[in-house]
A = this chain, B = another copy of it.
Amino acid sequence: MDVSRNSVSMEQWSSIIDERMLDDEPVLNLQRDGEGTYDAVFIGGGAAGRFGAAYLRALGGRPLVIDRWPFLGGSCPHQACVPHHLFSESAALLDRERLLDGKLWFGLGERKVSILDVVEVFRHGRVAAHAFMNWQTKAQLEVEYVLNAPARVLPPGSTPGSDGARHTVEAAGRAFSAKNVVLGIGARQNPLDAPGADLPGIFDFATLVEELDYEPRRAVIIGGSKVAVEYGSFFQAAGCATTILTRSPLLATQSLHHVDADLRRYVVEGMRKRGVEIVEGSSLLEIKGGDRVERVIASGPDGEMLEFECDFVFNGTGESPNSELPRQWLGVDTGPRGEILVDKRMRTSVECVYAVGDIIGPPMEMFKARKCGMTAARNIMGEAFEFDFSEYPDFFHTTYDVTWVGLSEEEARAQSNDIVVIQMPPKGMADGEIPLPCSEGTMLYAFLRPEFSGFQKCVVDGRSRRILGFHHVGYGAKDAFQYLDYLLRRPEGLTIDEMGQMNELFLNPEHFIQLCRLRAGRRELVDL
């Protein structure tokens, strides 16, 4: 179907997408019927491709986006980040119900809450986000696209055409001529590698959303990724007893950068207090079952054999880039984990071929995907723009938002012998000895269960007075870390003195500004 000349409303987009999910009829939104040469064809309309195309269009270029799904936005609003956030919000609410049960109006008790119902809320509602992406990209961003159609890049010609075209991309039975190709077709869940890995009842973040059709009551999670922690926290909060089997210590610095040891302790102990069973140093050996999984066999930290009854297995072992087809099409170089190798301008080893988003490897985060897309667009349009994502603010969910940026205390102490730490609860105080930190989202905890009201730490270099890292467990601070990241990464950084002069919005979820103010007057900084 061709919507190129129509104005399509949100409601119409919802219907179109629902229909196209059931067939393979392409959706065309093209100028000049797709004739002429595009500055770039973006293969994959997820976060990286969509933002890249929008940016290229904003710069005055002509982009085309092609996606196999009938909507733009990619896996994020369909199977990945958006449902994850819905589940994590549910986890936070259910966690409060459990921890405050019997107090005030809280009365959920030990009642199991349906995971399937929450999944179905997502399934039924996700088309609205899809419709918005299609609507915005056409109506507001004026980007051409072909949806519900797989793409294929033809082998590159040896010389550019008279109009600068170097590549031809086929989709929906048409050939599109492009000066540049931008690869952004993401990553996929790593399969489990053990006997029984194909039994019914084994899910990952994508198949959970697509295929779950029963109510899990006893879950085993394989892997220690962010996804494992996030989904495991949700399952447990819903009342589905959950075990996490992980090779490495959970949330350790092997897999995540800059995780502070105190933050990690608060988070992991918090999960255990809520009933999540965490078995570190374990390896999956086998999954057993009949019509559905029934038990997981693993080796324990001392090599002992462990067995876990379950009716649900969740694969949280991480993802690998979808680089096979691009390698076939174009011969782009890839790295040891299958990631397409790019420079800081997102250029691959093949001329006029860029790669963006999860396909270039970790961190598989939204900011990186979108900014990769922007970076490719700027370079294609003639600007030598580099994107370095070696440092960035990071987060995950348990039943809390856990957020950090900059150095952990240990990393800071390895660099300097004059490190000052400002934290809540103060060092030496037990969780719950004071009802701090607290703010929106932890007020009831502060008054009724103070040991659950969160944790925070600010790491300062005593000599330069510059702040090296911020760390937070709670609610409502995540947004702030975007700007703290910007401030820390400025050449001049951010000092405790500048922090102490900012205008806090009491009761700010992270109490960093006012705590810094309490120390900033001192010439010789000390802990707080």
| Interfacial residues, chain A to chain B (CB-CB below 8 A) | 10, 51, 54-60, 76, 81-82, 85-86, 88-90, 92-94, 96-97, 103-105, 108, 111, 113-114, 117-118, 121-122, 124-125, 128-129, 131-132, 136, 140-141, 365-367, 370-371, 374, 377-378, 389, 392-393, 395, 401, 403, 426, 429, 433-436, 439-441, 443-444, 446-448, 450, 475-487, 498, 500-510, 513-514, 517-523, 528
Greatest chain B CB density within 10 A among A93, A475, A503 is at A503
A363 to chain B, nearest CB (A): 10
- When C-beta atoms are compared, the residue in chain B nearest to A426 turns out to be B140
Complex contacts, A498 vs chain B, CB 8 Å: 486
A181 CB → nearest B CB, Å: 20
Return A386 CB to nearest CB of chain B, in Å.
11
- Nearest neighbor of A92 in chain B, beta-carbon distance: B440
Find A129's partner among B96, B393, B435 (CB 8 Å cutoff).
B435
Q: Closest 10 interchain pairs by CB?
A: A58-B521, A366-B506, A483-B483, A479-B480, A125-B447, A89-B443, A367-B503, A58-B522, A55-B521, A476-B476
Q: Are B504 and A367 in contact (CB-based, < 8 A)?
A: yes
Most chain B beta carbons < 10 A, residue from A93, A113, A366: A93
Name 11 interchain pairs, CB-CB below 8 A, sorted by A. Answer: A10-B433, A85-B443, A97-B105, A104-B117, A105-B114, A136-B426, A367-B506, A479-B479, A480-B482, A482-B503, A485-B502
Complex partner residue of A486 from B113, B128, B447, B502, CB under 8 angstroms: B502
In the docked arrangement, what's the CA distance between A82 and B281, Å? Answer: 44
Q: Please tell me if the beta carbons of A479 and B482 are within 8 angstroms of each other in the complex.
A: no
- Complex CA gap A321/B125 in Å reads 51
Interface contact A448-B503, CB-CB below 8 Å: no
Contacts of A389 in B (CB 8 A): 503
Minimum Cβ distance to chain B for residue A88 (Å)? 7
Q: Which residues of B are found within 8 Å of A117, using beta-carbon distances?
A: 104
Per a CB cutoff under 8 Å, which of B56, B89, B501 touches A521? B56
Q: How far is the CA of A435 from the CA of B506 in the complex (A)?
A: 29
Residue contact A500 to B89, C-beta cutoff 8 Å: no
Closest-CB distance, A69 to chain B (whole angstroms): 18
Please determine whether A54 and B443 come into contact, CB atoms closer than 8 angstroms: no
What CA separation (Å) do A113 and B104 show in the bound complex? 8
Q: A435-B132, A441-B89, A476-B479 are in contact. Are A403 and B505 (CB under 8 A)?
A: yes
Q: Are B519 and A58 in contact (CB under 8 A)?
A: yes
Cβ-defined contact, B518 with A125, below 8 A: no
Q: Which residues of B contact A93 (CB under 8 A)?
A: 93, 96, 444
Query: Please, how many angstroms separate the alpha-carbon atoms of A117 and B395 in the complex?
Result: 35
Which B residues lie within 8 Å of A118 (CB)?
A: 104
Residues of B within 8 A of A136 (CB): 426
Can you name the residue of chain B whose Cβ is closest to the Cβ of A430?
B10
Query: Could you say which residues of chain B place their CB within 8 Å of the CB of A520?
Result: 55, 58
**Would A371 and B86 be within 8 Å (CB), given that A104-B117, A517-B55 are in contact?**
no
Distance, CA A207 to CA B440, complexed state (A): 23
Q: Across the interface, which residues of B come within 8 angstroms of A446, CB to CB?
A: 125, 128
A485 surroundings in chain B (CB, below 8 A): 502-503
**Across the interface, do A393 and B125 meet the contact criterion of CB distance under 8 Å?**
no
- A521 vs B370: C-alpha distance in the bound complex, in angstroms? 13
Q: How far is the CA of A517 from the CA of B52 in the complex (A)?
A: 10
Q: Which residues of B contact A51 (CB under 8 A)?
A: 514, 517-518
Residue of B nearest to A375 (CB): B501
Question: Is B125 in contact with A440, judged by CB distance below 8 angstroms?
Answer: no
Residues of B within 8 A of A522 (CB): 58-59
- Asked if B434 contacts A10 (CB within 8 A), the reply is yes
- Which residue, A57, A117, A440, A508, has most C-beta atoms of chain B within 10 A? A440
C-alpha gap A517/B50 in the complex (Å): 12
Q: Are B440 and A141 in contact (CB under 8 A)?
A: no
> Does B503 contact A371, Cβ atoms closer than 8 Å?
yes
Q: A128-B435, A444-B89 are in contact. Are A59 and B10 (CB under 8 A)?
A: no
Q: Please determine whether B483 and A487 come into contact, CB atoms closer than 8 angstroms.
A: yes
| A294 to B238 Cα, complex, angstroms | 45
Closest to A108 in B: B105
A124–B103 Cα distance when bound, in Å, is: 13
Decide: B482 and A54 in contact? CB cutoff 8 A: no
Q: Closest Cβ of chain B: how far from A61's Cβ, in Å?
A: 9
